[in-house]
Structure 1
Amino acid sequence: MSVRITEENYSHEAVKENRKIITSASVFGILRQQLVKNIGIKRIKGFLFHYGWEMGINVANEALQTDSSIENLIKHGPILHIKNGHISGIKHDCTFELDEKKQIRDFYSFGTWYESYEAEEHIKRFGQSDGPVCHTLIGFASGFMSTVFGEPLLARETACVGKGDPECRWIMKPKKDWEMELQDPHELDFYNETTIVKELELTYDQLLDQKNVVTRLAHFQNQLTEEIINGSGLQTIADMVYQMVQIPIIVEDNVHRTITYSGIDSDTYLLLASDMENYLQKIQLKTNPLLPFRKKIIKTSIQERLITPILLQKQVIGYCSFFYEDIKNHYHEEDYLFLDRFANAASLILLNEKTKFETFERMKGSFLEQILENRLPASEIIKRGKYTGVNLEQNYYIAIMEYKKTQGSIEDDFLLQEQIFETTFRYFKEKKHHILAGHRDGNMVLFITNETLQNKAIQNAMQEYFDYMHQNFPRSHFKLGISRLGEDINQALRCYEEAAIALRLAFKKKIVPFQSLGIVGVLINSKNISAIKMIAKQELGALYNIQDHKMVELLKTLYIFLLNGGKLEQTMLDLALSMSGLRHRISRIESLLEKDLRDAQEMHQLLLIIKSLIAMGEITFD
């Protein structure tokens, strides 16, 4: 079977104007459905608005060819809405005022659409919407009226059947009025919405830029890795980073002291550092002066910095900064990618330096242990000492520091020991003092030469070290014992024992030189241990029973009482006792000793005996 369509089926009428196409509302519903499928429901608002806008402009231009007044044209628009089947009816009120140049001085329009085809088709194909859906009608009305008045007029739906309202209502105002009234300026984005083609072009350009950044970043990372593998120092890598990114770079420690910089001269750096110090002093009054664990942009009157921390073992050990001379031409997000990788590289380099330094210091601690145990002859010790940077032919002191945390587990004690070790290394490194340091019997042992002290008294030097440690570990308790001056390396063990004796007697004073012990030091140093014990047993009687807790408490009370020269008030404060409780204890002690504690000679002898027992390690008071 064949079917032929003859020529008579074609219209021979010439189409001089726009050809009229007759179609149903469902066709626009299908178009809407396909648009949602292909470009998404969020984008169809702008697409349909501009589609309606162009139709409104086209119809308005046709209407303007007539000699109709503006009033008639305003009436003509809704009629065309109805004729085209967009709506079945309309209510429309429009108030406007023009100036002498026929420009809008005041304009306000509102109305109601009945049986909007857009609302019906949207509900039929997508169900009820969260917002208005008559985008084509809004666009048509806006385009038509904007063309008639020659100025941008925008209609917005305030109610819509498509979102469950009983009717579709709208308001029209000049675009500039909407911009001033709307709290969210993005509500008018659909009016200037970028076309899909343009958006794709912008996306492509952005992807191309991102590709270039990723390529540069990969090359940058490879260069950093290669330099780290080759063992390059921080200055070398900082110079390389500046050559690659052409942004001056500054590296500082966690208290903003200079580590290195590149891309600026020393005078400029000093100026920037002074300016940054002033900035930090100002913010210190209100906030934590330490910068955060993430990037930060700091702006002052003379500089702008992009800063990121250098993290090591979850602690901030320094900061890397990009310094911008021209604060207009830079991109923080892109620059941060490079700065962050440099900070990671700096962390690895500083970790390597820290590990090498601590390994060397621990080796020196092991060497100190060999010296104290007399494992090596003096000549060998002096020769090896040269490799540690310590001249062991110099006179020296040995100091022992005891440290205890108020509360903590075994793990906390171990961690504290490591922290004490590292902090001690850092303290003497910053002072550029070459010493030997190590652990022995749970205490920190320091070997310090006269050359290191640089004519400073040993007690003053140790006081500075003590204060530094107490500042860094405020919840820990420290005591220090200092030996007499050692003149020969073979006397190291003797000096260690002197420092240990002084440490045991550091009760009321936190730093005790052995030389201050007087006769006690001489007695113990003379190895009269058995004689001292015999005298102690004879003079202290029942109090010399270290197994009995009550006797130890009474002996401690006696010791504090004697240290205070028999002053009850001070002893009461030191022991946190009431006066009546203290008097009872003193009376009990006198009864056990059968001695008068007001006798100066008896007091002196008893104090000497107790100090000797403490110095020998026979008794300890917490």
Structure 2
Amino acid sequence: MSTIKANTITLSDLFGVDTKKNNFLQSQRMFISSADAWGALIKDLVLALGIERAKHFLLRYGYQCGKHEAMMLKNMFNWENTKEWIMGGVTMHGLSGRSTSVPIKANINPETKEFDVEGFWHNSYEAKQYLQHFPVHSEPVCYFLEGYASGYCSTSLGKKVVFKEVECIGKGDPHCHFVGKTLDLWGDEISPEEVDYAREDIGDELDRAYKRIERQSEILKRGNLISNQLTQIVLQGKGLDSIAQTLGRSLGYGIVISNKHFETITEYGQAVDYSLKDIVENQHIFNASDRKKINKMITNRITIQLNFLEEHGLLHYPLITPIIVQNNVYGYISIIKNSKEIEELESSLIERAANICALHILNEKTAIDTEQRMKGELLDEIILQNKLDSNIMKKLTFLGYNLNKPHYLFIFRLQNQDYQQTESLDVEKDLITNTLRRYAAIAKENMLVSHSFEQIQALISEDFLSTHNWSPKKFGEILLKEVKKKFPSSQLLIGISNICTQITEIHEGYKQAKKALEITQFNNQKQQVILFSSIGHISILLDARNPKELENYADQILGPIYAYDIEKSTELLKTLYFYMYNECNLHKTARCMNYSIGGMRYRLASLKERFNIDMMNSTTRREVQMALDIYLAFGKLTSIHLD
């Protein structure tokens, strides 16, 4: 038999067909399979075993195929030398349709057992079939080709050879690029255990996969059972207490449900030493890794497990996940574990429980929002209608309101409501509304609040204010401080009506609060509480004249005096006010302002000479009185106190 080289082998050299024995590849029985069939097998293996187990399965299978073909080819041909036998594996890749193998480096010495090669697998069937069923992977996917090359070359060289793919079209690279070296040349880059292709057979792998599927099935059944129990809690109208109890009993751990401020709402089991609020507020005393986890949970809304409590003598390893409702964090669930290991059931159940809690909170929120919207619409009907029909009275009775008791109408208006600030203003409005409801809940008081006309309206009962010993203005100032604390740049105005002793007066009270706001807004106040009662009789003119006209009228009379006082630091305007207040009595005014009689005469004379204000003229006195009242209503005389 003549010798043969690897690159001269053709299909006719390989195949001989015996129709009786069905022998292919000379004396060896073989069969032909399509690439698509291989692709279907790869897909099923990945889906059944997972990508890592499928990888090892295909590597071992490829290794055995390469080993077997190396022995067959050794016996079939009279090779020119051992190196040609080794290179026969390259030819087999191409003839079998697996790929076109193109070496770019081939340092092979069978005598010294040296092997260091590099090259490309063009048109890899394995990578193309993978991409037909799966997206681009994070690592190379030509597992069979790696295993085959390793098995063939290890057998023909007589020393362990390992092929690794360093680039692959299956992970988005432009080509499949391989490197093959003996295990000693790889050194620390590859551990011997990693390429121990003979340590397990397919049966072992499938047996493990079956057991894993059985375990996952059991976990799925148990998880579905607990999930159904949690769902039933919500459907039956039960609350977070029942959710914590059911989850805790199922897992055998303590459960803590906290609000968005990390404060405990409810707990079950061994959780007495656990406080998420303390952990978050004192995280600076723990290690950097867990501080990073806490901040990541808050920022990225992910599930985390903490280990730092071990360092402080507590055997707690809490598994924590946020409760998210309509893209907002409403709270957190903590499983208080006594071990670091996380079981598949625990991580999946805590997220299911968080979803169930979110569903419960959403139901509660929807119910509250619906009720508050109904109440708000009812208040809008009351403030807009001069005469109330019997239906409104029935609704009030049904909701438990008695508006025939004394009430004040408050209007809350935010300034500069442009489109760019809409979201921020909505949050600010929610804060005002929630603060009102919180005070009402503490006092066990029914309070009607509505959002309409780009503002907030609220009916505040005199009983509620009396309970806290607050005047209407004092309560308004308290609300201003709360809003300012949360939103330092807030521009909130609050207008307050006179007391409405019965329901039929609320419509008029609404008009009064609006008038108070008109004065405040016109005076460019950024934050202020103003009572309609403080406007006095000027309020009558608001129906006939707009605020700008009123201020212009007052400025014509008192504007020069106002400017002179600011420039010279005098008190002529104040002198004029107290002179009118004391019914133009010179002696009373002098005593009130601690001036001498001569000093008062001098000031009155100065007003006449400088500003043509003759207080002996009755027409001038009426005009000055009106102008002073306007200034007082517009806040330009806030430094004057009648006491």
For structure 1, the 5+ residue unaligned runs are 1-23, 60-80, 91-111, 146-153, 545-554, 570-594, 615-622
Deviations 1:40-91 (A, max 9, x none): 79756534646888999xx9xxxxxxxxxxxxxxxxxxxxx9889696425x
Q: Are 2:410 and 2:495, in contact at CA under 8 Å, matched by a contact in 1? A: yes
**TM-superposed deviation, 1:116:** 3.9
> After superposition, where does 1:171-250 map in structure 2 within 5 Å?
171=182, 173=184, 178=186, 181-182=188-189, 185=191, 188-191=194-197, 194-250=200-256
Q: Residue 327 and residue 135 in structure 1: after superposition, are their counterparts in 2 closer, same or farther (change >3 A)?
A: closer
Is 1:448–2:463 an aligned residue pair? no
Question: Where does residue 499 of structure 1 map in the other structure?
Answer: 513
Deviations 1:140-187 (A, max 9, x none): 478x67xxxxxxxx444699xxxx9xxx985353xxx85x521x6599
Q: Residue 512 and residue 120 in structure 1: after superposition, are their counterparts in 2 closer, same or farther (change >3 A)?
A: closer
Q: Give the aligned residue type for 1:229.
A: L
With the length of structure 1 as denominator, give the TM-score of the two structures. Answer: 0.60
Question: Where does residue 91 of structure 2 map in the other structure?
Answer: 120
Is 1:279–2:286 an aligned residue pair? no
> After superposition, where does 1:16-415 map in structure 2 within 5 Å?
26=25, 43=57, 45-47=59-61, 49=63, 88-90=80-82, 116-126=87-97, 127-129=99-101, 130=121, 133-140=148-155, 154-156=160-162, 171=182, 173=184, 178=186, 181-182=188-189, 185=191, 188-191=194-197, 194-265=200-271, 267-270=272-275, 272-279=276-283, 290-301=298-309, 302=314, 303-328=316-341, 330-331=342-343, 333-369=344-380, 372=383, 373=385, 375=387, 396-408=407-419
Q: Residue 564 and residue 284 in structure 1: after superposition, are their counterparts in 2 closer, same or farther (change >3 A)?
A: farther
Q: Give the aligned residue type for 2:350.
A: L
> After superposition, where does 1:483-562 map in structure 2 within 5 Å?
483-484=497-498, 492-506=506-520, 507=523, 508=525, 510-514=527-531, 517=534, 521-524=535-538, 527=540, 533=545
- Paired residues in the alignment total 477
Larger deviation, residues 498-507 vs 360-369: 360-369
Q: Are 1:138 and 1:155, in contact at CA under 8 Å, matched by a contact in 2? A: yes
Q: 2: CA distance between counterparts of 1:430 and 1:52?
A: 76
With the length of structure 2 as denominator, give the TM-score of the two structures. Answer: 0.58
Is 1:466–2:480 an aligned residue pair? yes
Q: Residue 364 and residue 134 in structure 1: after superposition, are their counterparts in 2 closer, same or farther (change >3 A)?
A: closer
Q: Are 1:562 and 1:603, in contact at CA under 8 Å, matched by a contact in 2? A: no
Q: 2: CA distance between counterparts of 1:140 and 1:247?
A: 55
For structure 2, the 5+ residue unaligned runs are 1-22, 43-53, 102-120, 122-144, 166-174, 569-608, 616-622, 636-643
Q: 1:482 aligns with which of 468, 480, 496?
A: 496
Larger deviation, residues 114-123 vs 497-506: 114-123
**TM-superposed deviation, 1:357:** 1.8
Q: Residue 403 and residue 285 in structure 1: after superposition, are their counterparts in 2 closer, same or farther (change >3 A)?
A: farther
Q: Give the aligned residue type for 1:238.
A: A
Q: Are 1:401 and 1:478, in contact at CA under 8 Å, matched by a contact in 2? A: yes
Q: Are 2:74 and 2:85, in contact at CA under 8 Å, matched by a contact in 1? A: no
Q: 2: CA distance between counterparts of 1:122 and 1:402?
A: 79
Q: Are 1:404 and 1:477, in contact at CA under 8 Å, matched by a contact in 2? A: yes
RMSD across aligned positions (CA): 5.4
Question: Where does residue 8 of structure 1 map in the other structure?
Answer: none
**TM-superposed deviation, 1:452:** 3.5
Q: Are 1:45 and 1:190, in contact at CA under 8 Å, matched by a contact in 2? A: no
Q: Residue 611 and residue 448 in structure 1: after superposition, are their counterparts in 2 closer, same or farther (change >3 A)?
A: same
Deviations 1:450-499 (A, max 9, x none): 55441245444333433444566678742112345556666544544443
Q: Are 1:52 and 1:137, in contact at CA under 8 Å, matched by a contact in 2? A: yes
Deviations 1:317-375 (A, max 9, x none): 222232212223x31x4323222222222122112211222233233334444654465
**TM-superposed deviation, 1:437:** 1.2
**TM-superposed deviation, 1:310:** 2.3
Deviations 1:223-246 (A, max 9, x none): 233222221222122212222233
The alignment-based identity, stated in percent, is 19
Secondary structure at 1:505's aligned position in 2? helix
Q: Are 1:402 and 1:444, in contact at CA under 8 Å, matched by a contact in 2? A: yes
Q: Residue 35 and residue 356 in structure 1: after superposition, are their counterparts in 2 closer, same or farther (change >3 A)?
A: closer
Q: Give the aligned residue type for 2:81.
A: G
Q: Residue 315 and residue 568 in structure 1: after superposition, are their counterparts in 2 closer, same or farther (change >3 A)?
A: farther
> After superposition, where does 1:406-425 map in structure 2 within 5 Å?
406-408=417-419, 422-425=430-433
Q: Residue 478 and residue 528 in structure 1: after superposition, are their counterparts in 2 closer, same or farther (change >3 A)?
A: closer
Secondary structure at 1:350's aligned position in 2? helix
Q: 1: CA distance between counterparts of 2:292 and 2:65?
A: 59
Q: Are 1:406 and 1:475, in contact at CA under 8 Å, matched by a contact in 2? A: no
Q: Give the aligned residue type for 2:233.
A: E
Secondary structure at 2:434's aligned position in 1? helix
Q: 2: CA distance between counterparts of 1:388 and 1:115?
A: 91
Q: Give the aligned residue type for 2:435.
A: Y
Q: Give the aligned residue type for 2:92.
A: E
